[in-house]
Structure 1
Amino acid sequence: MTMQFGVFLNQYYTPDGDFEVTDLYEQVELMEETGFDSVSIGERHVHDEGVTEPLTTLAALAARTDTLELATMAMLPALYNPVHLAEKVAMIDRLSGGRMRFGAAIGYRERELEPFGVSLDDRVPMFMESLSLLKRLWSEDSVTHDGDHWQFDDVFVSPRPRGELPVWIGGHADIAIKRAAYRGDAWIASASSTPDDLERQIGVYEDSLEEFGMDRADNDVVLMRDCFVADSLEEARETIEPYLLKLYRMYARWGQTYMDEHEVEVDYDELAEKFVIGDPEECIETLRTYEDMGVDHVVFRVQFPGQPQDTTLRCLERLGEEIIPELR
């Protein structure tokens, strides 16, 4: 199968940036024009920078596009009533003509879970129970369920998705990768995985699929990668480094809200092997390496906190016109 390419959209509002969620309209229209396969957005809550809500955003983007797959990457199903969540996701699938992909994860920030009454200890069993319910609600005429966290008698979703709705499951630890093999149709590999990590993790995923009697051809590896394209590696780094490191400083201080971002040390050179950054030839070479490892779908993150819209559009255009065609 030919490797597919998507974009993980910026979701952060920052005090010093001029990002507005309507900027995403122009981005997805350009993505569709230049041959991308998918667009995705994540879920965050009680975040200092402010965030976009994924399902509302994807519904709006569905109306602006005709061919792009629309994915959550990833939602936290433990935070929702499964019937309500199943209805919302099914409706986006209907509105988009069957283009919805449901990416899910357990979540790891206590700060995001607590307002919804979910503890770190409960997140995994709630995730597994919810995922089982969602799949049933999207495919069965009637669902009765008596579980540890939810109980339903003769409930259903109507209209249901147009067909079987693919479920992508994110996770970095081996147990999470095995969970993706057991419950999902694809595993989302983290942007934080080094190439060596990724090669080993793909092995864990493929071994787990075999253990559970699943066909590897029916279960994709979806890889997230931070990306920027310019005429040279030096120009690419000079352009994107300030915005990229702002995101990584934000990650570094999560859970440590007393820290100012300038007190958090983040070293670009220590992170560089995880990026797809450089001139087109360098980016193509890196992506071919991932293809050889067994990656089926690369999802690029090309806009970072505070980054201007024109910089983002320029990168998307070069990816679509100079890089993706070379890998088809």
Structure 2
Amino acid sequence: MHKDLSKTFTIGVELPLDNDWTREGQAKRLRQHKPFGVPDMSKHKERIMLADQLGFKVAWVRDVPLYDPDFGDAAQIYESFSYLGYLSACTNNILLGTAAIVLPLRQPWIVKKAAATINELSNNRLILGVASGDRPIEYPLFNVDFDSRSKLFRDSLDILKDKEDSKLNEGQHLLPEFKNIPIYVAGLAQQTPDWVGEHMDGWLAYPGTAEDHQHRVNLWRSVAGSKPYVSFIHLDLVDDPDAPIVRHHFGVQTGVKGLVAELQRMKQAGVNHIGLHFRRNTQPIEDSLKQIARDVLPHFQQ
């Protein structure tokens, strides 16, 4: 399974494949008595299988340990590694990415075993995105000092990269083996750009315009060379293929022609991969996935 995202420009999806941030989505949420930011996962299996069949490159899941109403975002609800184990059995080709596991809140040896398990069960399809975390309210529950997350992140990465294997007793092994798993970082994880460029295999950058990305890509290339640069677009794909681009927070509302133009700008800025986020999408998710596969993917993915 080809996991090097630096070789060409590709397009993926970010879960949940739900449009709960739209007016209709909010009305449905209220009928279901759910808090804001908690998506409806009832069709997640059918939608991820469809994304896989249509040729999207990566399915990204986030790591949100606690639902906090002040943040108002439960991501895809399910715990990341457990969910990816399930998704690995539902899909055949789409890569499975975490964006991103909060390392300071997890026991790093278990992270290593969980990631290796997902990679083996999925036939080598895992991209392990990791982060230092940015929600201070989570840390006390896990008995972790928020201000220590920079060092905890580095210590955890040492374990993932086999630098602490000397702590294993003679004959001990962590199985399955952690191998051929690229490790990407979300943001800078409280580290310097030089450190991130040297130690990480790819960068998960926050959403922005092509101009935003061009500046960030230049920084990334200066410290990391050709390693993959990945970001996301919060998309509202409308019926009219000629609809102009209207920008909103972290993304765009547009038709397929505008989406192609936006992705071309991302590619020209040096972005290697874009994950599409559909929670603002007013059309049915299935319709948008099929339309993008038909009218957008052929421009970028052979």
TM-score bucket (shorter structure): 0.7 to 0.9
TM-superposed deviation, 1:100: 0.8
- What SS is found at the alignment partner of 1:298? strand
- Is residue 302–residue 316 contact of structure 1 (8 Å, CA) maintained in 2? no
TM-superposed deviation, 1:133: 0.7
* Number of residue pairs matched by the alignment: 274
- Identify the residue that residue 166 of structure 1 maps to in structure 2: 182
Cα deviation code 1:181-201 (max 9, x no counterpart): 12211101112x343322111
- Identify the residue that residue 64 of structure 1 maps to in structure 2: 90
TM-superposed deviation, 1:9: 0.2
- Is residue 110–residue 119 contact of structure 1 (8 Å, CA) maintained in 2? no
- Is residue 168–residue 180 contact of structure 1 (8 Å, CA) maintained in 2? no
TM-superposed deviation, 1:84: 1.2
- Is residue 226–residue 275 contact of structure 1 (8 Å, CA) maintained in 2? yes
- Is residue 104–residue 170 contact of structure 1 (8 Å, CA) maintained in 2? yes
Q: CA RMSD in A?
A: 2.8
Cα deviation code 1:42-100 (max 9, x no counterpart): 01122146522111111101000010100111011111111111111111111101101
Is 16-25 or 112-121 further displaced after alignment? 16-25
Higher helix fraction: Structure 1 or Structure 2? 1
- Whether 1:325 and 2:290 are equivalent positions in the alignment is no
- What SS is found at the alignment partner of 1:59? helix
- Is residue 71–residue 100 contact of structure 1 (8 Å, CA) maintained in 2? yes
Is 12-21 or 33-42 further displaced after alignment? 12-21
Q: How does 1:188-199 map to 2 (within 5 A)?
A: 188-191=204-207, 193-199=208-214
- Whether 1:143 and 2:168 are equivalent positions in the alignment is no
State the one-letter code of the partner of 1:143.
Answer: D
- Identify the residue that residue 268 of structure 2 maps to in structure 1: 292
- What SS is found at the alignment partner of 2:220? helix
| Cα 1:17–1:295 shift into 2, 3 Å | farther
| Cα 1:66–1:233 shift into 2, 3 Å | closer
For residue 312 of structure 1, the aligned residue among 280, 285, 291 is 285
| Cα 1:67–1:232 shift into 2, 3 Å | same
- Is residue 229–residue 319 contact of structure 1 (8 Å, CA) maintained in 2? no
State the one-letter code of the partner of 2:251.
Answer: F
Give the share of equivalent positions with the same residue, in percent: 20
| Cα 1:75–1:236 shift into 2, 3 Å | farther
Q: How does 1:21-170 map to 2 (within 5 A)?
A: 21-47=41-67, 48=69, 50=74, 51-136=77-162, 143-145=165-167, 156-161=173-178, 163-170=179-186
Cα deviation code 1:118-154 (max 9, x no counterpart): 22211111011101211218xxxx8124xxxxxx656
- Identify the residue that residue 260 of structure 1 maps to in structure 2: none
- Is residue 45–residue 90 contact of structure 2 (8 Å, CA) maintained in 1? yes
- Is residue 84–residue 118 contact of structure 2 (8 Å, CA) maintained in 1? yes
TM-superposed deviation, 1:34: 1.1
- Is residue 150–residue 190 contact of structure 2 (8 Å, CA) maintained in 1? no
| Cα 1:198–1:68 shift into 2, 3 Å | same
State the one-letter code of the partner of 1:31.
Answer: A
State the one-letter code of the partner of 2:270.
Answer: G
Is 223-232 or 276-285 further displaced after alignment? 223-232
Cα deviation code 1:173-231 (max 9, x no counterpart): 9956444312211101112x34332211111111112xxxxx41xx1001111112223
Cα deviation code 1:3-47 (max 9, x no counterpart): 111111028998527644342211111111211011010011221
TM-superposed deviation, 1:272: 2.5
- What SS is found at the alignment partner of 2:248? helix
- Identify the residue that residue 301 of structure 1 maps to in structure 2: 277
State the one-letter code of the partner of 1:52.
Answer: Y
TM-superposed deviation, 1:235: 7.4
Structure 2, unaligned runs of 5 or more: 1-6, 21-25, 33-38
Structure 1, unaligned runs of 5 or more: 146-151, 210-214, 238-268
- Whether 1:230 and 2:203 are equivalent positions in the alignment is no
| Cα 1:25–1:68 shift into 2, 3 Å | same
- What SS is found at the alignment partner of 1:169? strand
- Identify the residue that residue 9 of structure 1 maps to in structure 2: 15
1 CA distance for matches of 2:241 and 2:294?
18
Q: TM-score w.r.t. structure 2 length? A: 0.81
| Cα 1:76–1:176 shift into 2, 3 Å | farther
- Identify the residue that residue 23 of structure 2 maps to in structure 1: none
